[in-house]
């Protein structure tokens, strides 16, 4: 059973996430988060010391939920094709609604933090997309729904295409037709024989 402390911590993270989505990273202050959570300044400092600390925990929680969600979907499904369609449809919706995403805040965090540990954190979260794709492709292999053997390289290719689209969507509006066409390229890669052969890529 969740403790009162863990419930309050989750409330702070959930509310802070909405603040970061609305304002990005650089413009958010502890005062913004305190007001959104409707708690005292002393109350929030019992759990977190800085905006940076809150943001890092928000992103980690967000990405854990994505991984747990895809694992749960795989466990409860026998249809790889349905799962991969659902994944790419979700990516399209996110690309067309980047104002409801943490992605812009994540980029701001990256460019405002220059030390190695923060860079490593950003890189780790960047590759979270690949982790999700790998879970799907492993299921595709296991169910013999795809012929790709070199799924690591396939996952890299899909990840970089999606991340490029996200960067474009943050910097300018992305046309639905462009998002649709590029995600179809990703989907064709999933079912292509180009990633057959040895896992080493030889």
**Structural domain contains residue 11:** no
Query: pLDDT digit string (tens) for 84-102?
Result: 999 999 999 999 999 899 9
* Whole-angstrom distance, CA of residue 112 vs CA of residue 108: 6
pLDDT of 147 above 80: yes
Number of folded domains in the chain?
A: 1
CA distance 176 to 163: 16
Prediction pTM value: 0.87
- The CATH number that applies at residue 83 is 1.10.357.10
Residue 197 has a pLDDT of 55
* Average of per-residue pLDDT values in the chain: 91
Report pLDDT digits (tens) over 99-127.
Answer: 899 999 998 998 888 777 777 887 887 78
Which structural domain range is residue 174 located in? 56-191
**109 within a domain of the structure (yes/no):** yes
- Whole-number pLDDT of residue 166: 92
Check: CB of residue 162 under 8 Å from CB of residue 64: no
Distance CA 88, CA 105 (A): 23
* 63 found inside a domain: yes
Report the pLDDT value the prediction gives residue 201, as an integer from 0 to 100: 37
Residue 26, in any domain of the structure: no
Q: Write out the two tokens for 177.
A: 């037709």
Establish if 33 belongs to a structural domain.
no
Question: For residue 144, is it within any domain?
Answer: yes
In a domain, 91, yes or no: yes
Q: Is residue 168 part of a domain?
A: yes
């Amino acid at each position: 059973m969740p403790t009162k402390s863990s419930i309050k911590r989750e409330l702070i993270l959930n509310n802070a996430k909405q603040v970061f989505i609305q304002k990005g990273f650089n413009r958010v202050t502890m005062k913004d988060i305190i007001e959104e959570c409707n708690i005292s300044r002393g109350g929030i400092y019992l759990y977190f010391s800085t905006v940076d600390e809150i943001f890092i925990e928000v992103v980690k929680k967000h990405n854990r939920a994505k991984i747990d969600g895809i694992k749960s979907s795989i466990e409860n499904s026998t249809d790889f094709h349905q799962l991969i369609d659902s994944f790419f449809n979700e990516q399209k919706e996110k690309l067309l609604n980047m104002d409801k995403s943490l992605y812009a805040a994540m980029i701001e965090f990256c460019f405002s933090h220059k030390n190695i540990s923060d860079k490593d954190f950003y890189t780790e979260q960047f590759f979270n997309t690949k982790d999700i794709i790998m879970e799907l492709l492993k299921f595709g292999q296991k169910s013999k729904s795809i012929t790709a053997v070199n799924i690591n390289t396939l996952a890299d290719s899909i990840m970089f295409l999606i991340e490029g689209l996200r960067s474009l969507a943050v910097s300018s509006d992305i046309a639905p037709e462009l998002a649709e066409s590029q995600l179809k390229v990703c989907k064709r890669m999933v079912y292509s024989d180009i990633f057959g052969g040895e896992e080493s890529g030889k």
